[in-house]
Amino acid sequence: MGEWTDLCTPSDRWLYQSALTWRRIYPGRADQVTHARRFVRSMLAGTGRCEDAEFIVSELASNAILHTLSGARRGWFGVEVSLAMHAWISVRDLGGRRTPSAVVPAGSVNGLRENGRGLPAVAELALATGYNGDPVGGHTVWAQLGLPPEPPLEVP
């Protein structure tokens, strides 16, 4: 099969030549994770990946609150959603002592430990995951989700 652009009109190519991106910032409190989930759901409506995206942002935002300065007094975390041929979901934190890791913690019994399973689960759902940044300046932890191809638009 050819490139996705083979199926596009010139207007489609113009629209999707770069990602559409939305950002929101939330206070670094656990109750704000629900709002981040709603935001991501609204941005990915109709893609068939809302549940996966909600899980991903829940894990990334919860980790930001629990393990970085985002969860401290006056802390915040940011959520970014970008859509093109794939969806990218990222969470920005304020840094701290730890660096994100998708490694299952030592001492877990057959992966049944209650904590430490979030990032590996995110990695299972995503095409790719990663992070950039550092403990001083903050981290951006991201996941790339595949999207099903959209049916061609019908022109009246």
> Do 70 and 28 form a contact (C-beta atoms < 8 A)?
yes
In one-letter notation, the amino acid at residue 58 is S
Domain 20-146 has CATH 3.30.565.10: yes
Q: How far apart are CA 64 and CA 62, in angstroms?
A: 5
> Do 43 and 81 form a contact (C-beta atoms < 8 A)?
yes
Domain ranges in the chain are 20-146
Q: What is the pLDDT along the chain (156 residues), one digit of tens a residue?
A: 445 556 667 776 676 667 789 999 999 999 999 999 999 999 999 888 999 999 999 999 999 999 999 999 999 999 999 998 889 999 999 998 777 665 444 444 444 444 556 788 898 999 999 999 999 999 999 999 998 876 544 555
